[in-house]
Each structure stands twice: as structure tokens, then as C-alpha cells.
Amino acid sequence: MYERSQLLGEIRELMEDDRLFKIFKRTFENYEYYFNTTNHIVLNVYQFNDHGSIHVLLTARRALEILRILKKFGIQTTAEELGKSFEWSKFIVAFGALFHDVGNIIHRENHHLFSTILAEPIIDKLAREFEKTDWLLLKALTLNAIYTHDESTQCTTIEGSCVTVADGCDMEQGRSRLAHKKDKVDIHSVSALAIEKVEIKEGDSRTPIIIDVKMKHLSGIFQVDEILTKKVKNSLLRGKVKIRIHAENQLLEKVV
């Protein structure tokens, strides 16, 4: 459904920064083996859903989409509130999304903590390359974005909120964010297969982020409520996101 080259091209456009994109692309290529090995374990040991290279690129793209919309509506990022440039926010969101799931290579439980631990030496080098003086703050904010992507953890930064909401959007075509047995028919499996398309769009100054979810039937609402809604509520974007559900010739809207 999504191709590596297509997603990288879209990420480059959203970044609007050739230097940052070159670092991102190089890092993705250097660590793609990590993402693929993680995915192999997730699929075959945990019997869970896809967490590989396409997922992390798609999460990065969506997180950058959310970040771009927030900027357009004049919402300051945490980096900007700390006196840093918007380029910092792009770095935090991009690399937070890229490495948010590598902890699954150790265990699904507490994977967000393991992701932070495994990514720390990588983010350390990247932060020093990108920022020569205040690199430690950049590193800290990026590791924070990785740690808070799980819906059980409260987000404390705008950048981390972009990552967690973007992660929650990856529900299309059976890529369930909820564990379910492949040979068992229940609400988890039916809901997971219901969602056809998820798109992020611009709203207005009151609710700048719109997430359009197109589904075959309304059972997909279970997937939205159990994952995406929880992630939004645990983010700093709560109240700024409208979820629009398109199903069975109906349009259901709610501000989360």
C-alpha cells in the first residue's frame, strides 16, 4: 500500500530542509536492518501487527504533517517555547518517530522504555551532528518523544504529541494497533479489517487537526476508540483534534 521511496519523498517535502533530510535518509538506511529485525520478531514471536520500516516512515510522515499544520495555525512547539528553532522540532519529530518502536526487539511490554534505551547512543550522535552547542537538550527532547509515544504515557511536549498521534493513525487495511489472533473472529479482528484509509487534514484555529477515517463498516470505531482516541487524550493536542469517521454513508464527528 505504501512504498519506501514514496514515503521518503513526502518526508523530504514536509521537512523543507535538505540538510536534515540527508541525515534522516542516511540514518534510516543505516538502521533499516534494525527496523526489519524488530518487525520479524513482532510478527513471528509476538504474533502482533507490522512494526517495520514502512510503519516508522509512515509515522514520521504523519507526525511531520501534524507539525506543519500546528505551525500554520501559530501553535508554538515545545522547542520554540524553549527558545529554539522550528528546525529543532522537525528533528525531534522525525527521529522520535523513526526510532519509537525499536524496543519491540527486546519485548512488547514496556517497549517504549526499551526504545529509549536502544536509541540513546544513536540520538546522541545525531544531536551532536545537528546541533553543536545545545545538543544535550535536543537529545533529551527527542528521547522524550520516543518514550511518550505509548498511550499509557502522558505526553509532555508538542513534538512528542505529534509522534504519538501519528502512531495512532496507522490503522489501515488490517494493520491493527490491537493484538488479535489471525484465525479468530472477534471484535478485534473485525474492527482491524474495517478501516480502509486514514488521512490528516487541516482544520481551523479551534481544532487545527482533522483526522479522516474511512471504514467499510462501523465496527472500525472500536479500533479508533481503543487506540487513536486514547493517544490523543494523553497528548498535548487534546481538544485540538477532530476525528471524522466515514462509514455506511454516515459521517460521525467528535473533538478529542
DSSP string spanning 110-163? THHHHHHHHHHHHHHHHHHHH-SSSHHHHHHHHHHHHHTTSTTS---SHHHHHH
For residue 189, the model assigns a pLDDT of 62
- What b/e string do you get for 80-119 counting C-beta neighbours within 10 Å, with b at 16 or more? beeebebbbbbbbbbbbbbbbbbbbbbeeeebbbbbbebb
For residue 178, the model assigns a pLDDT of 46
Query: Mean pLDDT in runs of 10 for the chain (256 residues)?
Result: 94 98 98 93 82 93 98 98 98 98 93 97 98 97 97 96 96 59 56 87 97 92 91 98 95 96
Neighbouring residues of 103: CB distance < 8 A, sequence distance ≥ 6: 110, 111, 112, 113, 114, 115, 116, 117, 118
For residue 186, the model assigns a pLDDT of 54
Longest dimension (CA), the chain: 55
For residue 92, the model assigns a pLDDT of 99
For residue 180, the model assigns a pLDDT of 46
What does the domain layout of the chain look like in residue ranges? 4-168, 172-255
Q: How far is CA 215 from CA 176, 244, 255, in A?
A: 13, 11, 18
Rounded CA-CA distance 143/146 in Å is 5
For residue 179, the model assigns a pLDDT of 47
